[in-house]
Chain A
């Protein structure tokens, strides 16, 4: 079988990025002995320092060595955690505000009896709101999320490039 074939042993993780051998890999300068300069790390994140607040780590020390020796890219992985948090916050903010709008629309159309008297093209207004009112909201939230998520990723890419840049120069 060729390519990313779907055999059972191929489903699980691809070979680790480094093992597949990208000498010019900008993010994973494997032999890089120099740790990232600390000031860079503080540029972006508004979150607690890496590794500090993970409950799973706290209760499961045995199976998880605290430091991955092959993860030589501390700086980039810090940015990565920032990216993940930013995307999660964005998703949660979108879903919470979406639910708030849905609740508001639902309350309006179901709890205001006066609206039943408003008839447009033969259909009472609450029926029309229920049949059509939610879709523009859904699409609007979808567009806002897609645009903002792409912006988060661009910002991440710029930061990670900035962090990796000096090391890349020396890589073959």
Chain B
């Protein structure tokens, strides 16, 4: 792959991002503009922006990489991400929009009338957000080394600089436009190469018109397919992905840009369609990768397979142009997700630690980019899609039970919420750290779950996929502590719950 074209592609993307960002700067004048785009974003724009933010490096690069590497089990990730959005729609989209809060800590504070609960939530939101930005920066490092002879940190630092600049300059309003634009860039950057790659597989670019032939039983073996499914790991992962979306900071903040609860629901349906289409395209590239590029099925390399496919299959300058488009799309993925997260995190930091002004928001945006950047620079990239999946597991254990019960159960108390968040996050973090320590020390789970190092396979599975027990335990903690809390739910609970569930027209 040549170096010049992809860099031109990235440069064009950055210029377009900057232009749209500064156009947004012109229209964002008040603090409220900065935080939530004044709640006047049109549904289709908003849906594209939500999708643009949600589709990260994990599914742009990581999905096809993992399909190539380990087979059909990779499809659970996008299915779970999309189903997680379905749960957001079913249980929180409308009510959270109506809550009138800007961030998850705002919501918890308003619902429970407790500053302690707010602070605990803020800390968890920051941890989740930072963990989520790290794989995006890793992805940028991976792509930049694949296309140019530069050290990996150039990609991470470059993304961090652009994200903090755009967010600090334009706030949520410009971010909305930027992300809506980047959604279409991402979708185009996968769909166009996919169409041409499929044509190539069908023989369109061969002189004789001969299609590529392969043996389905070898390329798509039964054991790597749905037949080789591990029931516990699959169920636990799906539970985490289903509930995890609800606990992601950048997902919830997006609903506040819808004008009312009903439109928040309609927007979410459009989001479901958009991300489903994207995941199907990305999954197809994974299937193609198994046919065309089995030589790339190595950890660390597999995630770059999307960049390789066009040049392998489409001859001449066409392939080079497509590859440049894919690289630009990948950077759109890093930028879109990171900037959405940084907006959400900077909102939390500036409101909780400093005055909540535009100036403090700007500095918070810079700080919220630097911390994950430091983390990304000192850690080694893992598989992108699994890193993102881990964040979902943590969010589902730490925040989702409290958010869901806060919307639907009037008995929730501040003590119950704090206890549940602490139990969920500590258990989940401990399990994940223990699991990675086991893997690092050579006692990690073998593919067949055999006993190694004297530790039964079931223990390793429970540690590697803790959601199936941490989420129920966290939820039980919330419920039991709330029920035993002598102080009871806050006085304004009924009024607040009515506000969440009653259509706006009825309320004012």
Q: Which residues of A contact B (CB under 8 A)?
A: 1-8, 11-14, 16-17, 22, 25-27, 54-57, 59-65, 68, 71, 77, 80, 83-84, 87-88, 90-91, 94-95, 98, 102, 106, 109-111, 113, 116, 119, 122-124, 126-127, 129-132, 134-136, 138-139, 141-143, 145-146, 149-150, 153, 156-157, 160
Contact = CB atoms under 8 A, between A and B. Distances in A.
Given A84-B501, A157-B505, A63 B491 contact: yes
Contacts of A98: 83, 86
13 contacts: A60-B487, A63-B487, A63-B488, A83-B502, A95-B90, A110-B226, A123-B287, A127-B220, A127-B225, A127-B226, A135-B276, A142-B268, A160-B506
Closest 8 CB pairs of A and B: A56-B411, A60-B488, A135-B276, A63-B488, A11-B106, A91-B90, A131-B283, A109-B226
A142 B352 contact: no
B172 to A, nearest CB: 11
B83 A134 contact: yes
B312 interface: no
B30 A7 contact: no
Describe A's contact surface by its main secondary structure: helix
Interface in B491-508: 491-492, 494-499, 501-503, 505-508
Interface magnitude class on chain B: 35 or more
Nearest to A120: B216
Interface string B130-171: 000000000000000000000000000000000000000000
B305 interface: no
Contacts of A56: 410-411, 413, 482-483, 488-489
B122 to A, nearest CB: 11
A7 B214 CA distance: 62
A68 B494 contact: yes
Contact of B498 (A64, A80, A136): A80
Contacts of B222: 113, 116, 124
B82 A134 contact: yes
B283 A94 contact: no
A74 to B, nearest CB: 12
B66 to A, nearest CB: 12
Contact of A131 (B118, B227, B287): B287
A156 B269 contact: no
B284 interface: yes
Contacts of B269: 139, 142-143, 146
Contacts of A126: 72, 225-227
A7 B350 CA distance: 9
Contacts of B286: 131
Contact of B501 (A25, A57, A61, A80): A80
B291 interface: yes
B483 A55 contact: yes
B70 interface: no
